[in-house]
């Protein structure tokens, strides 16, 4: 009966009882798991990088669109001010972050450049700076010609065609 009693060491494989084929299969399985983990980590890293790049593109497009709107508003302001006041010199706007997107503030400087001679035309220079965290995120400058308009040149509607009558 003593010979039939199994000790704990009897049912554990001994080092000399493990076949090289079993060890090789186990090594191949571990290697396959490691390769799969590397592939999954690479795909995850590429996905995160792609999302980050897409987000940066979105933010830059949003800033560019916001800058275009501000420049267009400044140009409209120049034209309307020159209609009411031909001696309009320009002005500076400072827009805080709460009025824009909550992150960026803006400074827009409008300068009216008048031609000295009769042949030179009046122009407006609009300079925009979008500032975020104390750093300039975007700076744009536009020069546009502005027609000289006097109070007597305004159209009253007399010479506008009446249409189909």
pTM to 2 decimal places: 0.61
pLDDT of residue 162: 47
Nearest to 92 by CA among 144, 128, 65: 128
- Dmax (CA) for the chain in angstroms is 128
Q: DSSP of 29-46, one letter per residue?
A: HHHHHHHHHHHHHHHHHH
pLDDT at position 10 over 50: yes
140-150, pLDDT tens digit by residue?
Answer: 888 888 875 55
Q: Does residue 163 sit in helix, strand or coil?
A: coil
84-93, pLDDT tens digit by residue?
Answer: 888 888 899 8
Report in angstroms the alpha-carbon separations of 127 from 54, 63, 91.
Answer: 29, 15, 11
Which helix (H) or strand (E) segment holds residue 106: the answer is strand 104-113
H runs (alpha helix) in 7-120: 8-11, 20-84
Per mean pLDDT, which range of 80-89, 129-138, 150-159 is the poorest?
A: 150-159
Q: What is the Cα 125 distance to its own chain's centre?
A: 25
pLDDT at position 34 over 90: yes
Q: Which of 35-49, 64-78, 120-134 has the highest mean pLDDT?
A: 35-49
Q: What is the arithmetic mean of pLDDT over 141-161?
A: 60
Q: What is the arithmetic mean of pLDDT over 40-54?
A: 96
- The pLDDT > 70 percentage for the chain reads 76
pLDDT at position 13 over 50: yes
Mean pLDDT of the chain: 80
pLDDT at position 99 over 80: yes
pLDDT of residue 164: 44
Listed by start position, the domains of the chain span 44-149
Q: How confident is the model at residue 136 (pLDDT cuts 50, 70, 90)?
A: confident
């Amino acid at each position: 009966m003593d010979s039939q009693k199994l000790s704990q060491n009897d049912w554990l494989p001994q080092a000399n009882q493990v076949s090289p084929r079993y060890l090789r299969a186990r090594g191949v399985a571990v290697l396959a798991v490691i390769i799969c983990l590397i592939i999954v980590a690479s795909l995850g890293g590429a996905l995160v990088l792609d999302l980050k790049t897409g987000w940066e593109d979105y933010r830059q497009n949003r800033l560019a669109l916001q800058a275009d709107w501000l420049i267009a508003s400044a140009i409209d302001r120049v034209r309307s001010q020159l209609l009411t006041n031909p001696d309009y010199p320009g002005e500076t706007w400072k827009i805080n972050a709460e009025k824009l997107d909550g992150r960026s503030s803006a400074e827009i400087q409008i300068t009216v450049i008048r031609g000295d001679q009769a042949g030179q035309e009046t122009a407006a220079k609009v300079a925009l700076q979008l500032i975020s965290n104390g750093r300039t995120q975007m700076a744009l400058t536009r020069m546009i010609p502005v027609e000289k308009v006097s109070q007597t040149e305004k159209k009253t509607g007399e010479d506008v065609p009446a249409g189909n009558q």
